[in-house]
Amino acid sequence: MENKTSRLAVEVVYALKDQAYVQAVLVEPGTTLEEAIKQSDVLQKYPEIDLSLNRIGIYAELRNLQDIVDDGDRIEIYRPLQADPKDARRLRADKAKKEKLAAGRK
């Protein structure tokens, strides 16, 4: 009796500002991350996603679009950073310093 190839269950996730889009997808063994993303409706639903620009990962580990998916993978599409983390940290520190100085003047 020949064993039929079973499909793999993966999730495609796109984090928005106040919610997350999560789509379960059944794919054939040997499917790439890019193919799995295209099989979900995330690219149609969120046209701002550009797979040549957005980073992709599985469980917070960066991956390439041509990597092969495994059963149970959570394929994550990351949004570009809105600000450089170093600049954001510096702005928070400056704000805290100013607030501390203002509180000391009272």
> Do 8 and 69 touch, CB atoms closer than 8 A?
yes
94 vs 54: which has the higher pLDDT = 54
Give me the pLDDT at residue 101, please.
74
Per DSSP, the three-state class of 44 is helix
Residues 6+ apart with CB under 8 A from 31: 8, 39, 68, 69
Q: Structural domain boundaries of the chain?
A: 8-80
Give me the pLDDT at residue 77, please.
97
Q: What is the pLDDT of residues 22-77, one digit of tens each?
A: 999 999 999 999 999 999 999 999 999 999 999 999 999 999 999 999 999 999 99
pLDDT band of 17, cuts 50, 70, 90: confident
Span 8-80: which CATH code?
Answer: 3.10.20.30
